[in-house]
Amino acid sequence: MSIIRRYWRIIFPIFFMAIIWYFSARNGEMSDVDSNKYANALGFSNEFTRKLAHFVLYGALGYSASSFIKGLHPLTFPKHTHIFYPIILAVIWGALDEVHQLTVAGRNGSATDVVIDAFAGLAGVLAYVVIFCFYRIYKAKKAAAMGTIADQLTPAEIEIQEIYKQNQ
């Protein structure tokens, strides 16, 4: 696998981290105007809209970080690190975000937001794992249907292929 193909996914976690930082750097008045605009459009309260924004952005961060780490060479990052590291990243970035908000006029930090960020990162990682598992099942079924040579598949894909053949 080429270096570009392995590392291009770093763009997405950095993108979401930059968006999170941008929104937390806006002063309290500008942030309230934005929140109220989206709250009115969605029909939610301002507080719920803010928490939803946290959940969506940190979920996207968890998903994209998991995708990036999974795409790296398995010798660089051992098994299942694509699950744990993105959650840790979401917690650390959430805590830094809340500390950063303490320095912005009209804003305050919240431990509740860090907890929401952690659960959102977990939800993003779980979404990635589920989608990746479905992709692997699809790939194995397609390989079984096409009669792909077993040495081109991973052991998990071979197992899925055998189960698929038995159930036909």
Taking only the tens of pLDDT, the chain with its 168 residues reads 567 767 888 999 999 999 999 999 999 899 889 899 999 999 999 899 999 999 999 999 999 999 888 877 665 666 778 788 999 999 999 999 999 999 999 898 889 999 999 999 999 999 998 898 888 788 777 777 776 555 566 666 666 667 767 766
- Single pTM value for the model: 0.80
C-beta separation of 20 from 99 below 8 A = no
Query: What is the CB neighbour count within 10 angstroms for residue 122?
Result: 18
Structural domain for 59, as ranges: 3-127
Q: Has residue 33 been placed in a domain?
A: yes
Measured CA to CA, the distance from residue 128 to residue 155 in angstroms comes to 20
C-beta separation of 24 from 97 below 8 A = yes
Q: Has residue 95 been placed in a domain?
A: yes
Q: Has residue 159 been placed in a domain?
A: no
Q: Has residue 14 been placed in a domain?
A: yes
Token digits for 19? 């968006």
Q: Has residue 117 been placed in a domain?
A: yes
Q: Has residue 142 been placed in a domain?
A: no
Q: Has residue 133 been placed in a domain?
A: no
Total H helices, total E strands in the chain: 7, 0
Q: Has residue 8 been placed in a domain?
A: yes
Instruction: Tell me how many domains the chain contains.
Output: 1
Phi, psi dihedrals of residue 72, rounded to the nearest 5°: -75, 165
